Amino acid sequence: MEPYPSKSEAKISNQNLSDKKIVPKNSNNIEINRTDEPNISQKNPNRLISFLTSKIGIIVIAISIIVIAIGIFLSVYLARNNGNENNISKNKIFNDKIINNIIDKNSDYIETMKADKNSEKDEEKEKGKDEFVCKSKIPSDTLYVKKIDNLPEDFILGMDLSSLISEENSGVKYYNFKGEEKDVLETLRYVGINYIRIRIWNDPYDSEGKAYGGGNNDMKAAIKIGKRATKYGMKILASYHYSDFYADPANQNVPKAWRGLNLEGKAKQAEKFTRHSLQQFKDAGVDVGMVALGNEINDFFCGEHEWPNIVKILKACSKATREVLPNAKISVHFTNPDRPGSMMYFAKSLADNSLDYDIFSVSYYNVWAGDLNCLDQLNDVANTYNKKIFVAETQYPYTRDNLDYYPNKTPGYDDFLYYPITVQGQATHIRNLLNHIHGLKNGIGLFYWEGAWIGVGTKNYYENLEKWEKYGSGWASNASSSYSEAYFGGGGSTENQALFDSEGKPLESLKVYNLIKYGNEINTFEDGVEDISVNPINFSTFSLPNEIKVIDTSDQRSTRNIIWNGELDIEKSKNDEKYEYIGKADNIDIKCIFENNLNNGRRFVCSYYIGDKMLSPLLLKSMIRIREG
């Protein structure tokens, strides 16, 4: 037997006790009446403290405090309402001041928060612009680039990519310098391109919905390119032609929908189109930094030839731009800077008619415009009218080869070019043009035209033609002739001036946009020669040239003497079907042939080699004069 009850027994015992009602009794076994029981506080003061600190006690105390507070509030409220009206008015004014002060402080706080948030967004946006840019020198063992000193960080290094969507729809793919397939915009951003130019046509389709080609550059295509450029931190130059197809000095056709409208009607429609399309860019989140009003509008725009009429339409477009995108810059675009005084004439025409714009831009192709000095007249525009200056278009060929089975635009017969037709020559053209613009008053940058417009990669003309017609990846489709007789179907015609090869791989020349910031003055070598060919030949004055100018990769030119394998034989040179002369200028082998030309005359055609490498022949203005005489 256990001396103490077990746990189970104690539990049962306690349960039995709890079920019974215990009534106190006196010594005579008579129940005591509870009313006679002493007060708790009297019986045990500690029990009062225990009650007050219990949950029920705390609740009672809290309710009491609330009731007292309500009573005080009602007393004060009644006292105030029983006071005189002046006191009430004073109290109201005082209370209103407090409330307004609180609102003002909160409004300031909210505005500060908004500003901080916007600032954070701007910082994030600026950070995003640099995310894809190579922040160091991109190595090159073959490309010679001289550094451009003091080039501003915001200097425009621009690229026109208007045909991009049509190219991709045709199956074109692009790669980075590692040979990896990439979005071409990512590769461009990597080397430092910060602006993308996109041409915009109103309605580049015929009545059957067939596209005109040349990129099919409607707003749908423009927004696609714009969104991708914005993703990689690049701004957009929206280049409006105010036409359904290419606009240039000879072709400024009014959009089909505007035909028959008077000047007022065209101005109204131009404003409406500008406003609506810019709002589309804005809604799509495209970062439009600049808007170009027209394309190469030399004395001709939207069917108008008189400057007051031209500027009236431009004003409507400018007004819409300022209202939809107040931070975007407005440019006006001309060409033919080789004509002395022409740029000042155009700038004065805009000023005389009070056009609101920011930037004066020109096209520069040295095959037509000549050397860079023709751009110096832009200094007069900047000084007289305080306008920024940039070059809106340029190109340069890296090869003479036809890469898409359609004739190249450049080089053509008698085209004169200032650099060898090589990858190096292309890079030198870009570098020297950028440097020249940087040296102009208010010069802010350069756009390279259609740097990624390459052949569509098929094996013959007819397969290419099918893609050009279907996707608009040629310079024009057959449908374009319904809009203007000036147009007809064809291929790209400038693929030999792109900055990507026929397989979509970036040329070494694309690195120039990075290397101008660092320089890459590597060992030089011969890259081209000034051509000594002559066509047609005047045998009464002709003699074999005795020297040649050689161009190296640093654009330095040196004269070298030629030693021929024999004297000039006039009779054989005139009469033999082909008569050959061999010459040598140091390490350069020269091979020249007398042969018949297309006009039944004779020509002297030369080629130049160092070993197996053919040097690029460069035709200068002086040689054209020889050919003509």
Q: What is the CATH number of the domain that holds 377?
A: 3.20.20.80
Note the pLDDT of residue 264.
97
Domain boundary among 515, 549, 568: 515
pLDDT, one tens digit per residue, over 422-474 is 999 999 999 999 999 999 999 999 999 999 999 998 889 999 999 999 999 99
Question: Looking at residue 283, what is its pLDDT?
Answer: 98
Total domain count for the chain?
A: 2
Contact 447, 156 (CB under 8 A): yes
Where is average pLDDT lowest: 30-44, 521-535, 579-593? 30-44
Last residue of a domain, one of 490, 515, 540: 515
Tell me the pLDDT tens digit for each residue of 366-403. 888 989 999 999 999 999 999 999 999 999 999 989 89
- The answer as to whether 378 is a domain residue is yes
Mean pLDDT, range 340-352, rounded to an integer: 97
User: Do residues 591 and 555 share a domain?
Assistant: yes
Do 432 and 480 lie in one domain? The reply is yes
* Tens-place pLDDT, residues 395-433: 999 998 989 888 888 877 567 788 999 999 999 999 999
pLDDT at 27: 40
Lowest mean pLDDT among 8-17, 25-34, 125-134, 559-568: 8-17
CA-to-CA separations, 619 to 372, 506, 533, 615, 625, in angstroms, rounded: 17, 27, 9, 13, 11
Model confidence over 231-266: pLDDT tens digits? 999 999 999 999 999 999 999 999 999 999 999 999
Summarize the confidence of residues 133-159 as an average pLDDT.
97
pLDDT of residue 508: 98
Q: What are the tokens at 565? A: 């394998």
540 and 501 share one domain: no
What whole-number distance in Å separates Cα of residue 44 and Cα of residue 552? 115
CA atoms within 13 A on the CB side of 332: 26
Same domain, 617 and 490: no
Listed ranges 485-489, 506-510, 590-594; the one with the highest mean pLDDT: 506-510
Of 515, 546, 575, the position where a domain reaches its end is: 515
Instruction: Please spell the DSSP secondary structure of 18-29, one letter per residue.
Output: HTSPP--B-TTS
Please, how many CA atoms are within 13 Å of residue 227, restricted to the half-sphere of its CB?
12
Q: Which of 29-33, 305-309, 334-338, 454-458 has the lowest mean pLDDT?
A: 29-33
**What secondary structure does DSSP assign to 122-176, as a single string?**
HHHHHHHHHHTS--SPPP-SS--B---TT--TT-EEEEE-TTHHHHHHTT---B-
d(CA 319, CA 314): 9
Share the mean pLDDT of the chain: 84
Q: What is the pLDDT of residue 488?
A: 74
How far are the Cα atoms of 241, 372, 524, 626 from residue 260, in angstroms, in the given order? 19, 42, 60, 50
Q: Please report the pLDDT score of residue 559 as a whole number.
A: 96
Lookup: tokens for 26: 């006196």
Residues 472, 553 share a domain: no
Tell me, yes or no, whether 239 lies in a domain.
Answer: yes
Distance CA 519, CA 508 (A): 14
Please name the residue that has the structure tokens 């009779």.
Answer: 571
In a shared domain, residues 480 and 604 = no
**Burial (Cβ within 10 Å: 0-12, 13-18, ≥19) of residue 101:** exposed
Enumerate long-range contacts of 275-278, CB under 8 Å, 24 or more apart. Answer: 275/320, 275/323, 275/324, 277/200, 277/219, 277/222, 277/238, 277/240, 278/238, 278/320, 278/321, 278/324, 278/325, 278/328
Contacts of 32 (CB under 8 A, 6+ apart): 23, 24, 25, 26
pLDDT number for residue 534: 86
Find the angle CA(265)-CA(268)-CA(271) to the nearest 5 degrees.
150
465 falls within a domain: yes
Higher per-residue confidence, 368 vs 523: 523
Nearest alpha-carbon partner for 623 in 536, 528, 517, 512: 536
Number of CB atoms found within 10 A of residue 558's CB = 11
pLDDT at 246: 95
* Rounded distance between C-alpha atoms, residue 257 and residue 574, angstroms: 60
**Cβ proximity of 421 and 616 under 8 Å:** yes
Which of 515, 525, 252, 509 has its CA nearest to residue 394? 509
Distances from the Cα of 222 to the Cαs of 188, 341, 537, in angstroms? Answer: 18, 35, 51
Length of the chain (residues)? 629
Span 552-580, average pLDDT: 94
Identify the band that residue 337 occupies on the pLDDT scale cut at 50, 70 and 90.
very high
Residues 544 and 488 in one domain: no
* Domain interval for residue 387: 154-515
Flag whether pLDDT at 45 surpasses 90.
Answer: no
Which residue has 């040598």 as its token pair? 584
Residues 303 and 402 in one domain: yes
More confident residue, 55 or 311: 311
The neighbour count for residue 410, using CB atoms within 10 Å, is 19
| Residues tagged active-site | 296, 393
In a domain, 246, yes or no: yes
pLDDT of residue 42: 42
Residues 243, 279 within the same domain: yes
Question: Are both 603 and 477 inside the same structural domain?
Answer: no
- Residue 430 in 3-state DSSP? helix
What would the mean pLDDT of 134-160 be, rounded to a whole number? 97
Helical (H) or strand (E) element with 393: strand 388-393
CB 390 within 8 A of CB 156: yes
Q: Give the pLDDT confidence of 167-206 residue by residue, as tens digits.
A: 999 999 999 999 999 999 999 999 999 999 999 999 999 9
What confidence score (pLDDT) does residue 101 get? Answer: 53
- With respect to residue 588, please indicate whether it lies within any of the assigned structural domains: yes
Of the ranges 19-23, 202-206, 534-538, which is most confident? 202-206
DSSP reduced 3-state for 93: helix
Higher-pLDDT residue of 10 and 169 is: 169
CA distance 466 to 478: 11
Q: Are residues 247 and 396 in the same domain?
A: yes
Output the pLDDT for position 626: 36
Question: What is the pTM assigned to this prediction?
Answer: 0.79
Asked if residue 26 is part of any domain, the answer here is no
Beta-carbon-side half-sphere exposure of residue 622 (alpha carbons within 13 Å): 5
Same domain, 330 and 229: yes
**Is 367 strand, coil or helix?**
helix
**Residue 431 CB coordination number (10 Å):** 22
pLDDT band at 64 (very low <50, low <70, confident <90, very high): low
Residue 552: what pLDDT?
96
User: In the chain, what's the furthest Cα-to-Cα distance?
Assistant: 168
Angstrom distance (rounded) from CA 237 to CA 156: 11
- Which of these, 581, 586, 590, 588, lies nearest to 611 by C-alpha position? 588
Residue 134's identity, in one-letter code, is: C
* Exposure class string for 562-588: b at 16+ Cβ within 10 A, else e: beeeeeeeeeebeeeeebebebebeeb
Q: Which residue has the higher pLDDT, 29 or 552?
A: 552
In a domain, 83, yes or no: no
For residue 379, tell me if it sits in a domain: yes
